[in-house]
Amino acid sequence: MDVLWKKEAFAQLLSQQAKIEAEIGAKLDWREMPGYKSSRIVLEANIDPKLDSNRQAVKEWMHMKAVAFHTTFHQRVKTLKQGMTSDNVLSGGALEMDNEEAVEYPVNDE
């Protein structure tokens, strides 16, 4: 996977930021990271994992958010279109797919 494609993939996901954050149930930190090979989408919790008293809370948070990330991103990542530029996808939030229909993703109400 080349660097340009990674940036295109990030732009495609970023165009769906509002929907993705609604499904995750939290605001995400979208880090494009110019000058690096990859970008990041980050979610952090205000829980100190080093404290034994937080162990259960950390475990539950990690499980809940790992499931939410998988549910939210799995199908989107599978449908990313290589060769598309951010100009193709940054048009009002819907992921455009050339002459194909845009993919709609149900919001997870959990």
d(CA 48, CA 96): 40
Does 95 reside within a domain?
Answer: no
Does 102 reside within a domain?
Answer: no
Q: Quick one: what percent of the chain has pLDDT higher than 70?
A: 73
Q: What is the pLDDT of residues 11-64, one digit of tens each?
A: 999 999 999 999 999 999 999 998 888 899 999 999 999 999 999 999 999 999
Does 109 reside within a domain?
Answer: no
Does 54 reside within a domain?
Answer: yes
Q: What is the pTM of this model?
A: 0.69
For residues 109 and 7, the model is more confident at 7
Q: How high is the pLDDT of residue 2?
A: 75
Residue 86 confidence (pLDDT) above 80: no
Does 35 reside within a domain?
Answer: yes
Does 94 reside within a domain?
Answer: no
d(CA 58, CA 79): 31
Which domain, by its residues, includes 31?
3-89
Q: How high is the pLDDT of residue 107?
A: 43
Does 104 reside within a domain?
Answer: no
Q: How high is the pLDDT of residue 1?
A: 57
- Contact criterion met (CB below 8 Å) for 13 and 94: no
Within 10 A of 7 (CB to CB), how many other CB atoms are there?
A: 19
- The domain tally of the chain equals 1
